[in-house]
Structure 1
């Protein structure tokens, strides 16, 4: 049967004996409160029974809130003493292992509840991660909702292997990366895209890569484009001369000239707010 205090352990005053004195010390014991707590103990192990030392063991209350934590000793053992009676959950954490599902348990008055915790090896434990912030170079303000692409370089081959968006703090994360050479590219409408230098990661590296995006000075401009075709047969016309006119107070002035491509397409970009007209022709020498 387990034992518990019926009375609190009470010390006496100091007693000095110089010779053949016979001192008497009487004192009163205070009744101990009835036991309303118990212990939680156990061992953290691998599936094969091998102990896992120095694992963090977390005890949660019945509402799932953290109550107390401790570490397993070199033999994988842990104990939570004097835990108030009631219902709890328990789990453990250790690098290179997966956190098990929380185990429910009940603490009884003046009893020890034993809980074995088994942890599986994390198959991705030795993989790497690349993380960072996309921000403005002028004031270091984070840029949210930017698109970040991750590329892996193998020899002369470059492969895009991931694409994410930054959060409100401009942060991004690419986890579970195999050893190798990587770089990122960041972009967002209204900014000029940018690309990082290459970074090599291996054996559980967590590599930070921050990227700056410069505001596009032509972000608030428009484009005019189209396809030039033969009016009789609809065939697209390559190398047609296309002139762009700006119209101010009814006066037309040419501000740019281009030619259609092999598919008959033309494009004028970086156009400020205004009124424009496009004229096209094909001329031949006689």
Structure 2
């Protein structure tokens, strides 16, 4: 005769007894949940070949994870007396394979449910992958919006793959056909980077960080704007760029004249504090403080 627990083992918190003390310890028992005899079993395979170490995961109807297991050398998995009767969704996955669709099942008491999965090779990872960060040399700062090109080693003028770094300097290029490539990285304001030769192979993930050097000779900026009078652009207006020192003294460093659309542009402006003023003879004055 099978003897089963009716209640779950309950324990109290640790306590100390003092001499002549009368201790009272109350415990509230919880009923042991019923144990149903259920079996979910099946096979994970690629065409006719079993996939070992594949993961089979069981979710509730809202895709909240509950249990998972792995397949044996024959691609077989089992959930024995683990799942209570009810509705579940089951998903299978394996390294280098795409995740299967979620299959809905309904388990009943003392039921055996067979569910197998045929996985397809993950085309995105079947080929190679290159990833890493674009950083500023010596400062370990991320460089966003850098352009990363992969070119064929046979034709360096032909770009085959291209991406850009994100705000954290990260980039990734996947599904790269196995071959020999030349990788180049470009970013305005940084010195040209010596191209890197790399060999991409099937299922090969290549980590590659690149450090760029700031181009100090190309660190200047521009100042531009529009001169208006009563919301109408004013052409042929003289615009003056003043530099401001620590004491607030003003020195004219550039002069421009607006075009027919009232637009002016100062180029090759170094870091510092500036003020822009404009004047049309016998006309109106305009000024604005600017810090670069």
TM-score, L = length of structure 2: 0.61
- Number of equivalenced pairs: 214
Alignment partner, residue 141 of structure 1:
141
Q: Which runs of 5+ in 1 are unaligned?
A: 11-30, 225-245, 254-267, 276-286
User: In 1, are the aligned partners of 2:90 and 2:104 still within 8 Å (CA)?
Assistant: yes
The 3-state SS of whatever aligns with 1:150 is strand
Counterpart mapping for 1:97-246 below 5 A: 97-123=97-123, 126-154=126-154, 157-217=156-216, 218-222=218-222
User: In 1, are the aligned partners of 2:51 and 2:75 still within 8 Å (CA)?
Assistant: yes
Query: Cα 1:33–1:247, aligned 2, differ >3 Å: closer, same or farther?
Result: closer
* Aligned-partner Cα distance in 2 for 1:252–1:221: 14
Alignment partner, residue 46 of structure 2:
46
Superposition CA RMSD, Å: 3.6
* Aligned-partner Cα distance in 2 for 1:127–1:250: 60
Q: Give, in angstroms, the shift of residue 85 of structure 1.
A: 2.9
User: In 1, are the aligned partners of 2:123 and 2:175 still within 8 Å (CA)?
Assistant: no
- Which one has the largest radius of gyration? 1
* Aligned-partner Cα distance in 1 for 2:73–2:253: 86
Structure 1 residue runs of 4+, over 6 Å off?
246-253
Deviates more, 1:84-93 or 1:34-43: 34-43
* Aligned-partner Cα distance in 1 for 2:141–2:253: 43
User: In 2, are the aligned partners of 1:44 and 1:119 still within 8 Å (CA)?
Assistant: yes
Deviates more, 1:214-223 or 1:79-88: 214-223
Alignment partner, residue 27 of structure 2:
none
User: Which deviations, in whole Å up to 9, do the C-alpha atoms of 1:97-148 show, x marking residues without a partner?
Assistant: 3322111112323323221111123456541111111011222122233222
Q: Give, in angstroms, the shift of residue 72 of structure 1.
A: 0.7
